[in-house]
Chain A
Amino acid sequence: MTNEILTISNFNVNYGSKKILDNINLSFKKNTINCIIGSSGCGKTTLLKSINNSIVFESELHVDGNICYDGENISDIDDSTLRKEIAMLMQMPVVFPFSLYKNLEYVLDYYLKIDKTRKNDMIVDILKKVQLYEEVKDDLNISAEKLSGGQKQRLCLARALLTEPKIILLDEPCSALDVYNTMCIENLLLSLKHESTIIIVTHNIQEAKRINDRIIFMKDGKVVEDNENFFENMSTEEARAFINVN
């Protein structure tokens, strides 16, 4: 029981009469990689947004049900605290309109009071971690908006990791990356697992196969299959059909 860091119970999200998430019940164990798969539009992104409570920014959606983080209902936790502990990498990487360095400094300045050299070290470290350092080391002051899609994705990942989150939500983090960088990120996730819980949405079945401790297969807003040995032992017809076409 103590091993569970996040519990979602009887969770629904509606848009008018349309059910976007339909009675979700899930719990997540510490130090695991949980892969969410499912066809486009089945509610994966919505589920992630619910977990860090950024669903409140979509005021047209109606939410009900409980999500407990570390035994506490997330609606009782201050949003800033919650989102520091539960980092989220959005599906579309969004960089701030300043330099790459400042994008990272923005987070550090908010959370830590540290001197310039220590800050530099941390920024270089995190950039190395997400495999971005080699590409940008000549000019950390390059405008973040000038980076490529894949570079932005890694910058956003770096930025999210700076808060040292307990749970990391990733919405298709490798969708714009080449094979090499995807491998690097996967390895990073495998190593991050020792400190955090990872919940990742992916369209890449091979990737899910490589890193998962558990697969959550969704369809039309419902969790159809929740399985730790998904690829060896699929229990539903829908999941089999989905894997076959992907």
Chain B
Amino acid sequence: MKTLSKIIKFFSYTSFILLMGIIIFIFLYTVYRSIGIINFEFIFDSPRGMVLGEEGGIFPAIIGSIWFSLTALILAFVPALCSAIYLVFYLKNNRVKTFINNVFENVAAIPSIIFGLFSYAVFVYMLGFGRCILSAGVALALMIFPFLERKIEKSFLEVDKNLLIASYNLGIDIRRTFIKIVLPLCFKEIISSVILSLLFAMGATAPILFTGGVAFATVPNSLLKPAMALPLHLYLMIAQGASQINRAYGVAAVSLMILFIFSTLAYCFSHKTYKKV
């Protein structure tokens, strides 16, 4: 028995160290390779060059990525929150509940390019929006919806059921119970799921490939225009054989920085709000 637990301990420690090592390595290596690349021009200029991106900067891609993911988030968040509330607090029929949960789980497993295809067929063509941020946002929203819904639902399910029953026993309705008791307890979780899904959307390339992401565009100023995006820009640069691979690392480093900034903001925000409750 003792040797078994020792072996398990050994494996969990080594895999943890290995995993952390790889993550830290990727991070440091990306930063290392992008030293000298990231400067004012790189961040705030538009891309130029024979192979696009070899000169100039990536500003339109940064802003484009933020637009894409925020659009997706706004489209996905409200339905995700509402479905989670409905499933946890209102739906009584367990069979229907299981069925809907299965559907969501399956949707989460669909390859993201399928969402792109769907949005391409419906939004770009049928509804005539063309390739634009909105069309791509829909594809991304479909992709993050089940992820977001699951996470929010899980946070609701973690609330002690006795608290809810105690509140219902006072004759207080579901709505008030939800707002006053469930929401404050789940607020932090919800915010962190929102940020995670935002980053999930920001990192996705496939859904925007033929719905709204383009090789070159100016800084977007409307939802009905196409835009550049960081991962797509990175892909195109490498795919077209850019001579300066370090610039690709620069794009990656900027992506990591945005990720870091968003999660820090979310952390501070949820921390501050939590104290007030």
A and B are interacting partners: yes
Minimum Cβ distance to chain A for residue B136 (Å)? 41
A residues near B277, Cβ cutoff 8 Å: 98
List B residues 168-183 near A (Cβ within 8 Å): 168-173, 176, 180-181
Q: A90–B165 contact, CB under 8 A?
A: yes
* CB atoms of B170 and A159 under 8 A apart: yes
In the bound complex, residues from chain A placing their C-beta under 8 Å from that of B184 are: 97
Give the residues from 92 to 119 in chain A that come closer than 8 angstroms, CB to CB, to chain B.
Answer: 92, 94-98, 106-107, 110
**Cα(A107)–Cα(B172), bound, Å:** 8
Contact B168–A54 (Cβ < 8 Å): yes
Residue A33, interface by CB 8 Å: no
Q: Which of A81, A90, A106, A110 contacts B169 (CB 8 A)?
A: A90
Are A87 and B163 closer than 8 Å at their CB atoms?
no
| A57 contact set on B, CB distance < 8 A | 161, 164-165, 168
List B residues 87-102 near A (Cβ within 8 Å): 92, 94
How far in angstroms is the closest Cβ of chain B from A241? 34
Report which of B92, B162, B172 forms a contact with A94, defined as CB distance below 8 A: B162
Are A82 and B165 in touch, CB under 8 angstroms? no
Partner of B168, one of A79, A81, A95, A163: A79
A81: chain B residues within 8 A (beta carbon): 171
In the complex, what distance in Å separates the CA atom of A156 from the CA atom of B160? 17
Query: Contact string, A135-163, partner B, CB cutoff 8 A, digits 1/0?
Result: 00000000000000000000010011001
| B166 within 8 A of partner (CB) | yes
- With a cutoff of 8 Å between Cβ atoms, the chain B residues found around residue A97 in the complex are 163, 181, 184-185
Contact size class for A? 20 to 34
Contacts of A80 in B (CB 8 A): 171-173
A45 contacts B by Cβ under 8 Å? no
Most chain B CB within 10 A, of A59, A107, A110, A163, is at A110
With A59-B94, A97-B185, A110-B176 given, is the CB distance from A83 to B171 under 8 Å?
yes
The number of A-B residue pairs with CB atoms under 8 Å apart is 63
Question: Does B192 reach chain A (CB closer than 8 Å)?
Answer: no
Q: Is the interface of B mostly helix, strand, loop or mixed?
A: helix
Q: Is B246 an interface residue (CB 8 A)?
A: no
User: CB distance A87 to B169 under 8 Å?
Assistant: yes
17 contacts between A and B (CB under 8 A): A54-B165, A57-B164, A59-B92, A81-B171, A83-B169, A83-B170, A84-B171, A87-B170, A88-B169, A90-B162, A90-B165, A96-B166, A97-B185, A106-B170, A159-B170, A160-B169, A160-B170
Q: What separation, in Å, do the CA atoms of A160 and B184 have in the docked complex?
A: 22
Q: Is the C-beta of A52 less than 8 angstroms from some C-beta in chain B?
A: yes
Name the residue on B nearest A165 (C-beta): B171
Given contacts A57-B165, A80-B171, A95-B166, 19 further A-B contacts (CB under 8 A): A57-B161, A57-B164, A59-B92, A80-B172, A80-B173, A85-B171, A94-B160, A94-B162, A94-B166, A96-B163, A96-B167, A96-B181, A97-B184, A97-B185, A106-B167, A106-B172, A107-B170, A110-B171, A160-B169
Interface residues of A (CB under 8 A from B): 52, 54, 57, 59, 79-85, 87-88, 90, 92, 94-98, 106-107, 110, 156, 159-160, 163
Contact A92 B162 (CB under 8 A): yes
Tell me, in angstroms, the Cα distance from A92 to B161 when the chains sit together: 13
Shortest CB-to-CB span from B27 to chain A, Å, is 38
> Which residue among A52, A54, A97 has the maximum number of chain B CB atoms within 10 Å of its CB?
A97
Tell me the smallest distance from the CB of A166 to a CB of chain B, in Å: 12
Per-residue contact bits, chain B 208-222, to A (CB 8 Å; 1 contact, 0 not): 000000000000000
Which chain A positions have C-beta within 8 A of B160?
94
Contact status B163-A94, CB under 8 Å: yes
- Distance to closest chain A CB from B233 (angstroms): 47
